[in-house]
Structure 1
Amino acid sequence: MATLFVENLTVVDFSYLHAKRGMVGESWIVDLELSGELDAQGMVFDFGHIKKTVKRTVDERVDHRLLVPRDSEQLDLHERDDGHLSLAWRYLAGEIRMVSPASAVLGLPGMEISKAGVTLYLMELIQETVPANVAEVRVILREEDTGTAPFYHYSHGLKKHDGNCQRIAHGHRSGIQIFENGRRSRYWEKLWADRWEDIYIGTEDDLEGTYYVDEVPHHRFRYDADQGHFELVIPEDHCYLVAHDSTVENLAGHIAGELAREAPGKRFRVRAFEGVGKGAIAEAGEDNPGRAKGGWLTGSSVL
Structure 2
Amino acid sequence: MAKKILITPKSFKTYKDKAYPLLAQKGYDIIENTLGRTMSEQEIVSYAKKDVVGIIIGIDPLPASVLEQCKDLRAISKYGVGMDNIDLNRAKELGIKVKNAVGTNNISVAEHTIALMFSIARNIPSIASGIKTGGWDRVIGFELTGKKLGLIGGGQIGREVAKRARGLEMEVSIYDPYFTDEAFASKYNIHRCINLDDLFKESDVISLHVPATPETRRIINKHALELMKSTALLINTSRGELVDEEALYDALISKKIAGAAQDVFSIEPPSKDEKLLKLDNFILTSHIGAFTHEAVEKMVIVSTQNLLDMLE
Q: The TM-score by the shorter chain falls in which range?
A: under 0.3
Would you tell me which structure has more strand in proportion to its own residues? Answer: 1
TM-score (norm 2): 0.25
TM-score (norm 1): 0.26
